[in-house]
Amino acid sequence: MTPAAPTSPRRTVLAAKPSVTQREIDYVTDAVTNGWGTACYDYLNRFSDALRAFFGVPHVWPTSSCHGALHIALKALGIGPGDEVIVPDLTWTGSVFPVSWLGATPVCVDSLATSWCIDPEAIAAAITPQTRAIIVVHLYGNLCDMDAIMAIGRQHNIPVIEDAAEAVGSEYHDRPAGAIADMGVFSMHGTKTLTTGEGGVLLCNREAYVEAINTIESQGRKPGKHIMFWVDEIGLKYKMSNIQAALGLGQVERAAELIDAKRRVFDWYRSVLMEWPDIALNPEPSGCRNSYWQPTVMFGASWAMNEARRNALVTAVNAAGVNIRPVFYPVSKLPMYDACPHNRVAYDLHGRGINLPSYFDMTRDDADYVLQILHGKLTSAE
């Protein structure tokens, strides 16, 4: 079906924005008004409890960013100079920079053409005696092949970290994304499904890492040691504020509603896009549930899409007031890392993919308008 030309007046459609209700406003107001002194961690503790229940994991640390959560996780594993950490090439840099900050070497590997997530066979091929961790990313809400990845980790005794920054609400065979591996990290940035404005979460399933995480997260103070201002080792400071946690608590309590809204927007897009020729959308394999953080369109070969044409399309659609985004650059294409053109799938996907707007109060009319503008710019560029 070819979308009709827009009949409504020009409008602005944002790429993303949060849903904040009176529940969150009341919690934040209470935290600002009363959350000081002995109550300074009340919402942080309630938020942590809610996260443990939501993800079904024993250990949770809210953080000031997903970057911070990953930094803590890697430091708890003792990652440092001379070590290698396997990462997907096709991801945002936040999945990789903490590796570099610790002086280790990120080893970028290719993606699967089906899920756009990291390729388990590429992980296995990249393992060396220096490999100390594997980071996998559930890209745009899509799910990695966690059974295969965890089997590789166990075989080589290498810990696996799930970067589920973009996948709150995605489920892999009834297990929440981010809660399957040894550790998981999430983003609660303002663009994400659940938000604290800025923020992140670190999850852990392995008791062996808990004391190290507790110590690092508390700026190097070992838990249970009650000597004021005594510090045992160099730690990190990524603690989330009580005020942010108040907002986060309201968001987690509304998680099912917010995830359903994301899926509803995706379904609106899919009902039209499934009739466009030679495109692929975010997959949802059997037994899995995609939270569709960013509805993504991959144009097939018949569209003759490449990076230059895709970038021009993004510029034209954005100029019309509809905020679409390009698929991430492969990390190895950026100037601070060595190029990995042998990661052919990742390099190919980047040049022919876009993300569509998705937020909670979008209407069906908004979604149709997005596709009308997109189709008009596609056909005018041909």
Please choose, from the candidates 198, 204, 227, the residue with its C-alpha nearest in 3D space to the C-alpha of residue 217: 204
Mean pLDDT of the chain: 96
Residues 214 and 323 reside in one and the same domain: no
Q: How many domains does the chain have?
A: 2
From CA 118, how far away is CA 359, in angstroms rounded? 26
Residues 108 and 83 reside in one and the same domain: yes
Which structure tokens are listed for 328? 């991430």
Please choose, from the candidates 62, 18, 21, 65, the residue with its C-alpha nearest in 3D space to the C-alpha of residue 242: 62
Residues 225 and 285 reside in one and the same domain: no
Residues 265 and 216 reside in one and the same domain: no
Residues 266 and 248 reside in one and the same domain: no
pLDDT tens for residues 218-230?
A: 999 998 887 889 9
| SS3 of the chain: helix, strand, coil, percent, to 5 | 40, 15, 45
Considering 253, 288, 307, which residue would you say is the last residue of a domain? 253
Residues 337 and 321 reside in one and the same domain: yes
Considering 203, 221, 253, which residue would you say is the last residue of a domain? 253
pLDDT tens for residues 64-80?
A: 999 999 999 999 999 99
Residues 166 and 264 reside in one and the same domain: no
Residues 179 and 283 reside in one and the same domain: no
pLDDT for the residue numbered 8: 60
Residues 232 and 135 reside in one and the same domain: yes
Whether residue 13 is contained in a domain is answered as no
Residue where the block lists tokens 């939270």: 291
Section 92-108 average pLDDT: 98
Residues 219 and 364 reside in one and the same domain: no
Whether residue 282 is contained in a domain is answered as yes
Given a cut of 70, whether residue 170 has pLDDT beyond it is: yes
Whether residue 16 is contained in a domain is answered as no
Considering 220, 253, 286, which residue would you say is the last residue of a domain? 253
pLDDT tens for residues 326-372?
A: 999 999 999 999 999 999 999 999 999 999 999 999 999 999 999 99
Range of the domain at 145: 22-253
pLDDT for the residue numbered 380: 83
Residues 321 and 188 reside in one and the same domain: no
Residues 355 and 295 reside in one and the same domain: yes
pLDDT for the residue numbered 5: 54
Section 54-73 average pLDDT: 97
pLDDT for the residue numbered 6: 52
CATH number reported for the structural domain that contains residue 172 in this entry: 3.40.640.10
Whether residue 10 is contained in a domain is answered as no
Query: Percentage of residues in the chain with pLDDT exceeding 70?
Result: 97
pLDDT class for 379, splitting at 50, 70, 90?
A: confident
Section 254-278 average pLDDT: 97
Given a cut of 90, whether residue 310 has pLDDT beyond it is: yes
pLDDT for the residue numbered 358: 97
Query: Percentage of residues in the chain with pLDDT exceeding 90?
Result: 94
pLDDT class for 381, splitting at 50, 70, 90?
A: low
pLDDT for the residue numbered 273: 97
Which structure tokens are listed for 311? 């970038």
Please choose, from the candidates 135, 153, 143, the residue with its C-alpha nearest in 3D space to the C-alpha of residue 86: 135
